[in-house]
Each structure stands twice: as structure tokens, then as C-alpha cells.
Structure 1
Amino acid sequence: MAIAGRQSAPAGQKRNRAKSDIDWTDVPDVPFTGERPDLPSTRTIVTRDGQESVQLLSLTKKWWETVSAMPHCKLWTDSDWMFALTTALVADAAFCGIASAAVELRNREKVLGTTSEFRRGLRIRYTQPEVVQSTAEVTSLDDYRDL
């Protein structure tokens, strides 16, 4: 006799009827070493007296080194790199204490996937790099010792 209500799915059968249309992007967990734009040494700020150039903080330079070496940077196009570069300037403003820049920095870092939580939202996951195994046969030294 069948019991009314929802039954569990038979073994090997998925509960969802449709395949998820959002797939994960797997990226080998290896720092990016390809070409990237150079970080400018200054940014322009507007003061009462006009525009002024200020040097970027060392924290901003460290931020750029870290972000531009993330493994998923290999997926970026020129427009992604420009977005990251302008985000570095926003980061410098935030590091100088501008509160509105800190909010914008958080939003931009989410788009760039700078933390594991943000990458999870972008459906990017780092995987262990594949190890290439040699197929060459190795001759044992014991074979030569018997001669």
C-alpha cells in the first residue's frame, strides 16, 4: 500500500528535475604570472585649491600585488583588468580613510572575487593543479650492479 505524500528519490536518481544552469568554474590554484597592467604611482584628488597628485600608499601596492596574482586572473579580459586597476585607486582612497571609498571597495572586491566567500558567489573554485606524471621507464640500479 502506497503512503500519500512525498517519497524519497530512488537510489541514483536526483531530486531536481532540471539540471542547474549555473556551473562552477574550476581554476588551478596557481598564482597568476601573466601580463598585467602596471599600477600608477600616483592618483589625483580634488581639493579646494584644485587638483593635486598624491603618492599611492605602500598598502595599496601590496593590495595590487596580491589581487593581480590571484589564480582566476587568467580568466580576465582587458576590461576586467581596467576594473581592477581603478579598484586599486579606490582601495588607496579607502586606505587613506575615506569612508565612502571603503564601501565602494567592498562592492568592487566582491565583483573581483578577492575572498573565498566572494569567489563562491561568483561560482569560482580553486582546485589542486594537475601533476604531470612521466611515462618514462626507470631502470633499477640493481640491474647494473649484477653485471
Structure 2
Amino acid sequence: MAIRGPKPKDSSRLHQKSRSQPWTEVPNVRYAGKVPRLPIYRVFQDREGQHRVKLDPMTRSWWKVISRMPHCINWTPSEWQFAITTALVYDSAVRGNNAAAVELRNREKVLGTTLESRRDLRIRYVDPAPQLAAVPEPARGKRDELEELYGD
């Protein structure tokens, strides 16, 4: 008598091999490269029409923090553009737009602003290798010079 149900799969096909992405290790050093500037104004639309508002000072403070994260060193121009757009979303959220707050949360995950989001992106900050300083030679006095000339 035949067994009901689908034919059992080959045991070698039961488990997929781990396809996880390797960790990106970034030196835990503040990014000091070139950073795009934020626009001065943001434009938004409501029932009354189009409005132009100056960016909130909190948005500029947020940008100073975000644009100096160590893993910014790996960002491409498109990622910088995404970050600028996220700053505009941040500005809208700061001014009380609840829909912008939800969008901001999702965008900040993509940018890797928190430890948890960096873990999800598989970005790890590592302490930079310590710089070995050259050991200075001890100061030489007159006595050392005489010993060198005449021996012990």
C-alpha cells in the first residue's frame, strides 16, 4: 500500500546553507570626510498650498551627529542623498507630523543610527589599532659622550 502525502525530500536538501552576509568592520573613529550640506529650507504641501520653512535647529544638530557616524566612510553618493532626504523627514517629524515620525523610524534603521540597526545591517565598530609611538632615545649627557670616547 502506498504512503499518502508528498515524497520525502533528499536529506541533503533539507537545510539551506547559511547565506548570511559577513560583518562589515568599521574603525570606531568619527567620520572626518566630506559631508554634503543640508538645504536651508524645506518645502511642504498642505490644504492651503505650498509652504517653504527654514529647517529646525534640532534638524541641524541631528545632521551633525548622523553625518559623522564612523560607518559613513562606506556611504556612496546615493546613500548620502538618502540621508539628506531623511533629514528633511526628521524636520517634519520634529514639527509634529506623526506620519513623518513613522517614516523616520524606518529610515533611521536603514542608516544604521542605533546599535540594533547596525547589528541588523551587520556593521560592527571596532577599536582602531593602537599607533605604536617611536621610543625616544634617552637623553645623553657629557658623561655619556666621554664614556663613549674613552671607554669604561
How many residues in Structure 1 have an aligned counterpart in Structure 2? 128
Q: Output the CA distance in 1 between the equivalents of 2:81 and 2:93.
A: 18
1:59 is matched with 58
Deviates more, 1:33-42 or 1:62-71: 33-42
Q: In the TM superposition, what is the alpha-carbon distance from 1:114 to its structure 2 partner?
A: 0.3
1:24 maps to amino acid = W
Q: Output the CA distance in 2 between the equivalents of 1:23 and 1:70.
A: 20
Q: Secondary structure at the match of 2:72?
A: helix
Structure number with larger C-alpha Rg: 2
Q: Secondary structure at the match of 2:141?
A: helix
Q: What root-mean-square deviation, in Å, do the aligned CA atoms of Structure 1 and Structure 2 show?
A: 1.7
1:140 maps to amino acid = P
Q: Output the CA distance in 2 between the equivalents of 1:120 and 1:81.
A: 20
2:120 is matched with 121
How is 1:38-77 mapped onto 2 (pairs within 5 angstroms)?
Answer: 38-77=37-76
Q: In the TM superposition, what is the alpha-carbon distance from 1:56 to its structure 2 partner?
A: 0.8
1:82 is matched with 81
2:121 maps to amino acid = L
Q: Output the CA distance in 1 between the equivalents of 2:44 and 2:70.
A: 32
2:141 is matched with 144
2:93 is matched with 94
1:120/1:146 Cα in 2 relative to 1: closer, same or farther (>3 Å)?
same
Q: In the TM superposition, what is the alpha-carbon distance from 1:49 to its structure 2 partner?
A: 3.0
The two structures have a TM-score, normalised by structure 1, of: 0.80
Q: In the TM superposition, what is the alpha-carbon distance from 1:145 to its structure 2 partner?
A: 5.8
Q: In the TM superposition, what is the alpha-carbon distance from 1:144 to its structure 2 partner?
A: 2.9
Q: Output the CA distance in 1 between the equivalents of 2:19 and 2:137.
A: 50
Can you give the 5+ residue segments of structure 2 that lack an aligned partner in the other structure?
A: 1-16, 145-152
Q: Output the CA distance in 2 between the equivalents of 1:94 and 1:145.
A: 72
1:15 is matched with none
2:105 maps to amino acid = R
